[in-house]
Amino acid sequence: MNQGKPLTTDLLSGAVDLQVVHPPVKLINGRPEWLLKMNRHSVSVPQNLLPESGIRLIQAFVADSPEDARPIDQVLIMSGKKPPVLMLPDLKVRYDTQDFPNQIKTSDK
């Protein structure tokens, strides 16, 4: 706040009521460094959850959370690509998956 008014900068100065500024994100193993500051650590996706083809969403939940709980972390994994790590707190977790066969095409070789 600047004299009771929202602070805006650059091209947006005075043109908007609110401005959100995101600092640069440093990635570690493909994940934002700030997750480490939340007392999380990197956990490899269990081998049996990796997709044989297509794309799979892997979600981690607190083990005893209800079925409609929000995941504590999630990653998209493409078959044949190195999977990102999950960033999890020191809690027992359960996993859920959702497959997306042939949904996303890329030019990556």
Write out pLDDT tens, residues 59-87.
999 999 999 999 999 999 999 999 999 99
Query: Is residue 82 situated within a structural domain?
Result: yes
Look at residue 3 and tell me if it is in a domain: no
Residue 26 lies in a domain: yes
Cβ–Cβ contacts within 10 Å for residue 76, how many? Answer: 15
Range of the domain at 16: 10-100
In a domain, 29, yes or no: yes
Q: How distant, in Å, are the alpha carbons of 48, 52, 85, 95, 100 from that of 108? A: 24, 17, 20, 28, 18
pLDDT tens-digit readout, 1-60: 567 766 667 776 777 777 777 888 999 888 999 899 899 999 999 999 999 999 999 999
Residue 49 in any domain: the answer is yes
